[in-house]
Chains A and B, each alone.
Chain A
Amino acid sequence: MLKAIILTAAVAVALVVYFSLSLYVFPQSYQSIEAQRPQAIVTDVRLSAPDIVLGQALTISVTGTNNGEDADMQIVSVGFPNLTTTDNIKILKHDFDQTPILIAPGELLSSEYSDTADSSVLAQYASIEAFNRPWEAGKTYTAEIEVIPKTEGRFVVFIKSVALPHTWEQAHYPQDGTVDQQKEFVETYPVQVTKP
């Protein structure tokens, strides 16, 4: 009888300790751990020429870096607000772990640095998203893209980088400037396209 009482008491104490730890102590302690803070930055953008002739290809080289902590994903986005199709955009080379993807108008995109489905918007113009999953701290990746403008005049290239999850302000680049179709800041690089 005494053995049974001791056994029951020991098991009861063990369970009280376990459920207290699992349901209260550990959750409290782990929720106070701050989320990782990646810092997205575009360190280099090179255009093959400031002016091109209609029909001539424009080459864009973009380099992105994560200057903060590890990111689960970081995107370097190159947008072409003058283009409504992706058929004259080519990825010449890149050193990202995953293959960059072409975004055609009409596709769903997230917006305002949010990763939830209810913030989705429809793409209005063509773009390329080069990304790494995960993008470790301090790592740098480059993509070289070729695009052929379809009309003469001012041809604009939008460039930005976003780290996910977007845990703080420095997780996106640039910090201000023009706002794109996703309501996110971009750097603009205009090129003049002239008649042949």
Chain B
Amino acid sequence: MNYFRYQEYLEVYGLGRKLFAGYVLVSLGMLLAAAGGSWDITNHLLNKPETFFAPPHAVLYSGAASAVVGTVLVFFASKSGGRSAGRMIWPVKLVIAGVVMLISAAPVDFGWHSAFGLDGLFSPPHFVLVSGMVVGSAGALAGLAQSTKRLPSVLIVIAILPIWLGASGMIDMLSLPFSETEYFNFNPHPTLGVVVATLAFPFLISACLIGSSALAGKRFGVLSMAGAAFIIIGILTSIIPNSALTPTIPFYLSSIIPIVAADALLAFSRSRFSLYAAGTIVSLAFFMLYYPLITYTYNEVFESKVVWPSMIAQIYFEMIQNVFPLVAFPTAAMGILGALLIDRLARNKKYYNNIQQLS
């Protein structure tokens, strides 16, 4: 056994330490902002009275502040860098673009509220904000991946989660029926919402989880840690705030089983079949991993009930046996596509050339 393969170490190249710290702060900030956003959506669903100083807002703004500080660090480190820093310019550009989008969405959102009152989940400023999260997080992940020979497991999880959560937020915007206001109806057609959710969520889960495994050199544990972190954030931000859902925590926690199974497949077998199987397995858990919000999307087509917050679990568990067999095939196909995309990226010759040059 090659023990070295299982040993985590951090080697930051040249004067990339400041850059590295900046990327970490950006990833952490985006993670906090995305988790705060998820918590805020839950509180809106529960109609909890809201002030500027509400706890979810505090988490969201702390995350935005961390991302801004990280971006400033990244910017100055890249400016003062020599040859090695110059090579990292595109992740820096992505980070700056993402954080500028994130920050600029705030005054636009204020203007939107002033003009049109209450807004829904999908509004132009919200779209810019979530796009900024995804772009900035992708930049930070790319920067981190280029800064070190091998990222520590925890950093892989911290870097991949904001992309996963941000992209999930984007899919939520395009699939959940939460965007009808007095002036605009941005709600998707119910069937379109179901199609978007059925195709996009499995692809995203597969790409993010298998991506985390690829970044870790397929060593066992990292994919499971990323999945566990996603589940914990879901419990903290979407389930615990709604007391009617707390009995369903064991159900939600059980989704760690296919995630660990996929992790084991990738870690202990390097065949292409294992890659496809892992993509299929994690993607099939999408209907469970996106509980409870996904209830609203599928209810529009399958149940057409009024989804009161206290009735979410009842409606979800009434339809799960009907929905799952119908979505299983496209879900598995999208899971395999996600796995193939990551495999393609990992095999990208240019990527390997960059790593070799950095070495």
Chain A residues within CB distance 8 Å of chain B? 3-4, 7, 10-11, 14-15, 17-18, 21-24, 26-27, 30-31, 33, 35-36, 70, 72-73, 97-98, 115-116, 133-134, 164-165
> Which residue in chain B gives the minimum CB-CB distance to A33?
B247
**Interface of chain B residues 289 through 335 with chain A (CB within 8 A):** 305-306, 308-311, 313-314, 317-318, 320-321, 324
Does B250 count as interface, using CB distance less than 8 angstroms?
yes
CA distance A10 to B265 in the complex (A): 10
CA distance A134 to B324 in the complex (A): 31
A164 touches B308 (CB 8 A): yes
B320 touches A17 (CB 8 A): no
> Which residue in chain B gives the minimum CB-CB distance to A36?
B310
CB of B202 to closest CB in A, whole Å: 15
A15 touches B261 (CB 8 A): yes
Does B254 count as interface, using CB distance less than 8 angstroms?
yes
Q: Which of A115, A134, A165 contacts B47 (CB 8 A)?
A: A134
A18 touches B317 (CB 8 A): no
A23 touches B264 (CB 8 A): no
A22 touches B306 (CB 8 A): no
CB of B126 to closest CB in A, whole Å: 22
9 contacts between A and B (CB under 8 A): A7-B265, A14-B257, A14-B260, A15-B261, A21-B251, A26-B248, A26-B317, A33-B313, A73-B308
**Interface of chain B residues 64 through 103 with chain A (CB within 8 A):** none
A14 touches B258 (CB 8 A): yes
CB of A21 to closest CB in B, whole Å: 5
> Which residue in chain A gives the minimum CB-CB distance to B324?
A23
Q: Which of A10, A22, A26, A30 contacts B264 (CB 8 A)?
A: A10
CA distance A26 to B287 in the complex (A): 14
> Which residue in chain B gives the minimum CB-CB distance to A31?
B317
CB of A179 to closest CB in B, whole Å: 23
Question: In the complex, which residues of chain B have a beta carbon less than 8 angstroms from the beta carbon of A115?
Answer: 306, 308
> Which residue in chain B gives the minimum CB-CB distance to A132?
B47
| Closest A-B pairs by Cβ, 8 of them | A133-B47, A18-B257, A27-B317, A26-B251, A72-B308, A14-B261, A115-B306, A11-B261
Q: Besides A21-B257, A36-B310, A72-B308, 16 other CB < 8 A contacts?
A: A7-B264, A7-B268, A10-B261, A15-B258, A15-B281, A18-B258, A18-B261, A22-B251, A22-B288, A26-B250, A30-B247, A33-B247, A35-B314, A70-B244, A133-B47, A134-B309
Question: In the complex, which residues of chain A have a beta carbon less than 8 angstroms from the beta carbon of B244?
Answer: 36, 70
Q: Which of A35, A72, A116 has the most CB of B within 10 A?
A: A72
A30 touches B308 (CB 8 A): no
A23 touches B320 (CB 8 A): yes
Q: Which of A30, A133, A134 contacts B317 (CB 8 A)?
A: A30
Question: In the complex, which residues of chain A have a beta carbon less than 8 angstroms from the beta carbon of B269?
Answer: 4, 7
A30 touches B261 (CB 8 A): no
B306 touches A134 (CB 8 A): no
Question: In the complex, which residues of chain B have a beta carbon less than 8 angstroms from the beta carbon of A70?
Answer: 243-244, 310
> Which residue in chain B gives the minimum CB-CB distance to A71?
B310
Does B46 count as interface, using CB distance less than 8 angstroms?
yes
CA distance A71 to B42 in the complex (A): 17
Does B49 count as interface, using CB distance less than 8 angstroms?
yes
CB of A34 to closest CB in B, whole Å: 10
Question: In the complex, which residues of chain A have a beta carbon less than 8 angstroms from the beta carbon of B261?
Answer: 10-11, 14-15, 18
Question: In the complex, which residues of chain A have a beta carbon less than 8 angstroms from the beta carbon of B321?
Answer: 23-24, 27
CB of B172 to closest CB in A, whole Å: 21
Question: In the complex, which residues of chain B have a beta carbon less than 8 angstroms from the beta carbon of A11?
Answer: 261, 264-265, 277, 281
CB of B128 to closest CB in A, whole Å: 29
A30 touches B254 (CB 8 A): no
Question: In the complex, which residues of chain B have a beta carbon less than 8 angstroms from the beta carbon of A165?
Answer: 306, 308, 310-311
CA distance A14 to B264 in the complex (A): 11
Question: In the complex, which residues of chain A have a beta carbon less than 8 angstroms from the beta carbon of B250?
Answer: 26
B243 touches A22 (CB 8 A): no
CB of A19 to closest CB in B, whole Å: 8
> Which residue in chain B gives the minimum CB-CB distance to A11?
B261
Return the CB mask of B262-282 against A: 1 if under 8 Å, else 0. 001100110000000100010
A30 touches B306 (CB 8 A): no
Question: With A14-B261, A23-B324, A30-B317 in contact, do A72 and B309 touch (Cβ < 8 Å)?
Answer: yes
Return the CB mask of B141-184 against A: 1 if under 8 Å, else 0. 00000000000000000000000000000000000000000000
